[in-house]
Amino acid sequence: MKKLFTICLLTLICLSSAGADEEAQYNAVVSLYNAGQWEAAIKIITEREKQNMPDNMRAKYAYAKGLAYEKGNKIKEAQAAYEHLIVTHPNAPESDNARIALIYNDYSTGQHESVIKRSANLKTAALSTAQQCDLALMLAESQNATGQLKEALDNYSKAIKLGFNKDALASKMFAAYIKLGKHNELIASSNNGVPGVQPDLVALARAESFLALKQMPRVLDEFKKIPESSANYPRAAFAAAQALVSLNRTEEAEKPLELALQKLPPPIPPEAYLVLAECQIAGKRFDDAEKSIAKALGEAKKLGHNIDANAAMLRIRVAKDKGDMTALARILKDTRQTIPQDKLPDALYSLLFALHQSGDHKSVCNFPPEDIATLKNSRFAGDAFSIFYESLEKTGANEKARELLEDFVKTDQSGERLYKARIRLARYYSDQKEWMKAEDQYAWLLQKRDLTNVLGKELADETRYNAIVVKHSLNKADEALAMAEPMLKENLTPETRAALLC
């Protein structure tokens, strides 16, 4: 037993001595490559790797080999050493350091895809703040270089939070906001200018973002900041012209637009010719507008732009304003498939209104049912109803007019148009001696407290009088008298007073 204990003790002493000796050997290697003697360090590492040693020491030597090669500017050999370490000891602490070293090397040699791939496998929680900042920045730059702009912005922001100079990244983030169309972020980041970006370019980008956000007065504010001598002035003038058109200041838009068309470098955006057409329509220069629309479509075809929907809406406006019903109907038929669903009601109402204005009530009455349904569910519902009803009456289609009224009063419309629709419906029922139906319509109207304000006193009094007549027709004399007595105390027209007294 004593002999066995002695053997075990000697073994432990030897192992301890071997471990201490290995640490000493490793420290000698570190001292050598730190002193610039990287070749001597590599030689010792190669010899030590032939010996039996714990995995943790083998991982340390493998990482030291990579560092030594880096000292000797042997980048390929260093990368090979790091790669070998990651494969053979993937969970060793030194492997994370090797991954970081590889990312630095890839970044320095412009291997952006590799930086992105390696970063995805890196555990950053245990890294120092400075290392995390560097890695976020390298990843952002690599994503920016490979067109992954959204991800790049996220990592630029992360680097800033970790302490990187915000101003140093401002121009790159600003450029990414422009490319991604992040208008709100662009505006928020540039209220006080952008370090490293010329003020006129900042103003142009802000003007175009405000244009996209439909903040038209702000577009004009930014336009004023750009001197005419700036290379960005023509493009800004185009943005200003579009803003002026949207603000119904079309006459003011033509001058900056013409400047833009003269000085913008080719290819000219086809949309510029559409804006010019809007100016020409406002000035009733319809032939010029048609030429501008044709020019826009021609340029769009060359550039592969799709402006068919906007061009169609302008062609419809030209035909409508010219009063050319045949052309208007043809254009709508030809372009219907290109008009966006949210713009279709505008186009249909343009045709309906033009037909009504020209007195073509027959064509109004023959409007396709699907188009009537589209208008009914749009902001033009009330106006379209008035046109349809008038045309139906004028063509003697009284039954259809009645159906239209009954349908309309079921909608969620409110105000004068709805009140008048119910009055018309009540009159129709009275003419047909459908007294109870007429009574229902008048009852609905008379319980509205704003009846006089909405219809005016004369029409409101007439409505009350007609409601009394209906009560008489239903042999409800007491109710009729109860309705008439308060009215007689009011300031009535002589005709209404005389009718009530009768």
CA–CA gap between residue 62 and residue 146 (Å, rounded): 32
- Output the pLDDT for position 490: 67
Please write the tens of the pLDDT for every residue from 249-282.
988 998 999 999 899 988 889 999 999 999 999 9
Structural contact between residues 322 and 288, judged by C-beta atoms closer than 8 angstroms: no
- Token reading at 335: 């372009």
Taking the C-alpha atoms of residue 222 and residue 206, their distance in angstroms, rounded to an integer, is 7
pLDDT of residue 1: 45
pLDDT above 50 for 416:
yes
**Beta bridge partners of residue 191, listed in sequence order:** 193
Q: Could you tell me if residue 281 is inside a domain?
A: no
The answer, yes or no, to whether residue 169 has pLDDT greater than 50, is yes
If one counts every other C-beta atom within 10 angstroms of the C-beta of residue 24, the result is 10
pLDDT at 32 (0 to 100): 86
The tens digit of pLDDT for each residue in 13-43 reads 333 444 557 788 888 888 888 888 888 888 9
Q: Read off the pLDDT band of 369 (50, 70, 90).
A: confident
- When pLDDT is cut at 50, 70 and 90, the band that residue 455 belongs to is confident
Residue 2 maps to a domain: no
Is residue 470 domain-resident? Answer: yes
Task: Count CA within 13 A, CB hemisphere, residue 49.
Answer: 16
Domain that holds residue 496: 417-502
Count of domains in the chain?
2
Domain boundary among 364, 395, 413: 413
**pLDDT at residue 35, as a whole number:** 87
Q: Does some domain include residue 442?
A: yes
Residue 8 pLDDT: 36
pLDDT, greater one: 494 or 223: 223
Look up residue 213 and give its amino acid. L
Considering only residues 171 and 10, tell me which one the structure prediction assigns the higher pLDDT.
171
344 located within any domain: yes
Residues 408 and 421 in one domain: no
State the pLDDT at residue 285.
Answer: 93
Mean pLDDT on 272-294: 92
CB 256 within 8 A of CB 226: no
Residue 444 is assigned to a structural domain of this protein: yes
Q: What is the CA radius of gyration of the chain?
A: 41
| Span 133-142, pLDDT tens digits | 999 999 999 9
Q: Per 3-state DSSP, what percentage of the chain is helix, strand, and coil (rounded to 5)?
A: 75, 0, 25
Pair 399, 474 in one domain? no
Give the pLDDT confidence of 232-247 residue by residue, as tens digits.
999 999 999 999 999 9
Which whole-number Å values give the CA distances from 444 to 335, 439, 455, 463, 477, in the listed order?
44, 9, 14, 11, 20
Q: Give 93's pLDDT tier (boundaries 50, 70, 90).
A: confident
Shared-domain flag, residues 357 and 427: no
Q: What is the CATH number of the domain that holds 432?
A: 1.25.40
Together in a domain, 407 and 440: no
CA distance 417 to 385: 9
Q: How far apart are CA 294 and CA 277, in angstroms?
A: 10
Q: Give the separation between CA 250 and CA 252, rounded to whole angstroms.
A: 5
**What's the whole-number mean pLDDT along residues 198-214?**
98
Is the model's pTM score more than 0.85? no
For residue 322, the surrounding DSSP H or E stretch is helix 308-322
Maximal CA-CA distance, the chain: 141
273 assigned to some structural domain: no
User: Each residue of 288-315: b (16+ CB within 10 Å) or e?
Assistant: ebbebbebbbebbeeeeeebebbbbbbb
